[in-house]
Amino acid sequence: MKALIHYFKHIGFIYLILLVIYLVNPYNKGFMAGYLILGLIYTNRKFVLGNLDKTYFILVVFSFVYAAFYYFNLEQGMQWLIIYATFPPVFYLLGKKMVPEMEDTKSMGQLLIFLGIAYSLTGILSVGTNLLEGGFVQLGRSIADFWSGQERLATAMGSYFVFNMSIPGLLIVAKRRLSLIAKLALIGVFILSLLCVFRLGSRTQMALALIGILIGIAYRIKSQNLISNFKFVLVLVVLVILGINYISIDLDADYLSSLGQRLQESDNAGSAGGRTERWSKSLINLFEKPLGWPVEEFGYSHNMWFDAARNGTVISFVLLTIFTVVSIKNIIRALKVNKKATFLNSIILIFNIVIFLQFFVEPALESLYILFAFYCLIQGFINKYTENILEMDNNNVSVSIPNQVS
């Protein structure tokens, strides 16, 4: 705990407080914290100049291009013109600021988990209030936002739980890197989030939980020796047998009323909730309508890259794709640069995979923009972490050479 508090002091409590406010977005005023972060980052000229890189400039170009085309159709108001143009590169730099110079991968991993839970607070408060007022059996799946009272679709509300649903996978890898109290707290957060997901009937979040568990199992097996893996697999087999024999899942139960109904809609599930048809139309429009198309044509594409093309032309699509490819390369590099940091590496891997999967099925730049800004922050975090490790390795090599000569 002392190490984590010291780490928070290194980052600066003002940055953390503003970031949490932005992620929680109370009364839809989180953008004001974003503006303050923008001012704090860009007035620190030395820090900015020392952290400019290829990924930053790609984000700058994408942001300005997307904002420029948004200017011709100000659906969400002039406010979003500034947000679209400035927030991605600013949050990327903020991510770099959150990496300590000295390697402390345990605290870094705990910080990412903390921020993921902070992002989920609005979802927990909104769905939790709905459950207390009406229980699991209700007619609609839309949920009123806790802060504003505005009705939000279940898919958008479900995105708040994207990180919490990966908790089981993280706990599988954590072993002794988290205290018992921390593990119990994370289990409590996951159970609470799972109940909220049941109310929303979100198949996407259930899939993300399963994927997180599978990644966690694979990552732990990869990082252990043969004897430890034998014990681990034996425990898994016992748990699976006990689960099959003693846990009964009734899709008609009240707490599964929304999710059970959706799981039984096989036709709808096979088309990803009708998304595959929209994806095929969007792919055709990339070539037939490269300057974009109105949302009234067939609604959102429910894919971040296709929706970027719809709203910001094929140029935005290409730039966002370039950013995605560069991000994937940076993630792979980060996972290779310090293979001993299994806890942090597993968080980096699982968080990025669940975010990508969420982006693949939702119009993130319009309905999940806070998540996109958070993703940019994680990319900055990853790149600075990699730079620090490589710099330390280079310094060690330069120090060892004269020692060998003497």
Is the model's pLDDT at 181 over the cut of 70? yes
DSSP per residue over 161-174, as a string? Answer: GTTGGGHHHHHHHH
Which whole number is the average pLDDT over 323-336? 95
- Give pLDDT, residue 256: 60
pLDDT tens per residue, range 371-398: 999 999 999 999 999 998 888 777 665 4
pLDDT band at 406 (very low <50, low <70, confident <90, very high): very low
Which whole number is the average pLDDT over 93-103? 86
- Residue appearing with tokens 């699982």: 350
Contact 169, 213 (CB under 8 A): yes
Domain boundaries along the sequence of the chain: 2-262+279-398
- Per the model's pLDDT, the better-predicted residue between 247 and 124 turns out to be 124
Contact 353, 360 (CB under 8 A): no
> Which residue, 228, 233, 116, 215, is CA-closest to 168?
215
SS3 for 348-382 is HHHHHHHHHHHHHHCCHHHHCHHHHHHHHHHHHHH
Is the model's pLDDT at 262 over the cut of 80? no
Residue 259's alpha-carbon distances to 159, 197, 262, in angstroms, are 15, 8, 5
326 Cβ neighbours under 8 A, 6+ residues apart? 54, 55, 58
- Per the model's pLDDT, the better-predicted residue between 306 and 295 turns out to be 306
100 Cβ neighbours under 8 A, 6+ residues apart? 7, 10, 107, 108
For residue 151, the cross-strand partners are: 144
Which whole number is the average pLDDT over 171-182? 85
Which whole number is the average pLDDT over 317-322? 96
Q: What is the Cα–Cα distance from 154 to 276, expressed in whole angstroms?
A: 19
pLDDT band at 259 (very low <50, low <70, confident <90, very high): low
Contact 309, 316 (CB under 8 A): yes
Q: What is the mean pLDDT of the chain?
A: 86
Contact 372, 365 (CB under 8 A): yes
**pTM summary value:** 0.90
